[in-house]
Structure 1
Amino acid sequence: MKTKIKVLVVDDEPYSREELKHLLSIFDSIHIVGEADSGEDAIIQTIQLQPDIVFLDIEMPKMDGMQTAKSLMEFKNPPKIIFATAYPQFAVEAFRYEAIDYLLKPYDEEQISETVSRIIKYLKPIDLPKQSKLAGKLAIEDNGEIIYIEPKDIIYVYKEDKFSRIITVDNAYETKASLKELENRLSTYSFCRIHKSYFVNLRYINKLSPWFNGAFQLELKGSNEKLSVSRNYVKELRTKLEI
């Protein structure tokens, strides 16, 4: 890999930051572009430095690692996250944010070496950094388990109460991830927002029919439901369908 991987180290404890930076510095493929001592600072530095990877401590005052990760996922081109913590119980929640890895403190050289190898393997097939979110399946937490879904199998996604529901060709899933978060994570695939509470996979659109007040109705392959296309989203949908 010719392009070095840009890394931001985030931890409120100076010693932990220095230790991690030292362990990472021995790898030629890693370029540490900055460090932050809080979630708020991590967001600012991510905007300024555009890292490919953020090593993110979970237990931080005010804005903790999970809150920071959620904010980073709202970015147009979010960095990939590697969580770091002294406690293993956050692992399931961590993978809601498609974390590449989950490091337990105290760090050791073997652990860091395995993580760097995983990063390289993860990013190798793609051109850093612009396309770093094109990899693999959508990982969600469903009933305490991590489920991996092929984006091509998703028909549509919608918000209901406090949950997002993902409808696939052969199943339905419920997750606490927000609709906006899921839309961002699927932004490199053929999805389009049709309503404030819905977005659909363009591959499954079967029929688009005028309805009333400038709105449309959408019929999807593999689904018996007719979805409403809000007039605020009709233009974007027609553009993506090249109508």
Structure 2
Amino acid sequence: MSEKITALIVDDERFSRDELKYLLRKQKAIELIGEADSGESAIMKAVQLQPDVIFLDVEMPRTNGMEVAAAVQELKRPPKIIFATAYPDFAVEAFRHEALDYLLKPFEEDQVTEAVKRLEKILGKRPEESSVNKPPSKLAVEGEEEIYYLNPADILYVYRDERLTKIVEKERVFETKLPLKEIEQRLQPFSFFRIHKSYLVNLEYIDRLVPWFNGAYQLVLRGSKEQLSVSRNYVKDLRKQLEL
């Protein structure tokens, strides 16, 4: 069973540390084991904690990020370095220190995810999985007198309609009082994606995107005559999910 990637965050600005912590906690492969607010503290914690990777700011008082990177490379088990900074000008120098990646503030979730994927590939680690913690294979929907157990693979899409959430299969529509957000969390292990604040779709049923207006699209699903609106805020991420 593979271990998680242990990470240390180094930045003299608390807001930046908190922002990066929030994004990294969404990455199942990462385990945050510490943070430091100065270069001196970073070197000390790198020695003590021996992280797999340091997310490292460049501009810090006294000992800057480049000096920290040079110092930790002398350790017996040097960590990987991912610079996380507001200054693009240091990128060339960063890679001289064998930096794995260079993240620019304000951080974007996609940017962080790609960096973690590269880490996984290089370190050969994956999030731990346990048969005990495997997600259930059915979505339970409670009706007036019965509980229906739906196979997520049969669900085309899910949407919120006033006070009810409706779950659409090819031949039938189920209703539940559960909020869409909770349904989204339950379906997270499966291939569902939010295309609008009120809609989730099963990516396996997407047939094509049709341009609409103002950067929005209409989504055509196999097995459904209805076209769904894709908010322009979700189009870019949806295409990333669908395209090779």
Calculate the TM-score normalised by the size of structure 1: 0.50
Name the structure 1 match of 2:203.
none
Q: CA deviation at 1:77?
A: 1.2
Name the structure 2 match of 1:79.
79
Cα deviations by residue, 1:47-68 (Å, 9 ceiling, x for unpaired): 1111000000001011000011
Q: Does 1:69 align with 2:76?
A: no
Matches within 5 A, 1:20-39: 20-39=20-39
Name the structure 1 match of 2:15.
15
8 Å contact from structure 2 (residues 7, 32) kept in 1: yes
Percent sequence identity over matched residues? 59
Cα deviations by residue, 1:62-109 (Å, 9 ceiling, x for unpaired): 100001111111111111100111111111100111111001111011
Matches within 5 A, 1:1-243: 2-124=2-124
Q: CA deviation at 1:124?
A: 1.1
Cα deviations by residue, 1:112-136 (Å, 9 ceiling, x for unpaired): 111111111111189xxxxxxxxxx
Name the structure 1 match of 2:147.
none
Calculate the TM-score normalised by the size of structure 2: 0.50
Amino acid aligned to 1:114? E
Amino acid aligned to 2:3? T
What is the root-mean-square deviation in Å for CA atoms of aligned residues? 1.5
Amino acid aligned to 1:112? V
Total equivalences in the alignment = 126
Amino acid aligned to 1:79? P
The runs of 5 or more residues in structure 1 that have no matched partner are 127-243
Amino acid aligned to 1:108? E
Corresponding residue SS for 1:60: coil
8 Å contact from structure 2 (residues 59, 85) kept in 1: yes
Q: CA deviation at 1:15?
A: 0.5
Structure with higher Rg: it is 2
C-alpha distance in 2, partners of 1:53/1:39? 15
The runs of 5 or more residues in structure 2 that have no matched partner are 127-244
Corresponding residue SS for 2:83: strand
Q: Which stretches of structure 1, 4 residues or longer, exceed 3 Å deviation after superposition?
A: none
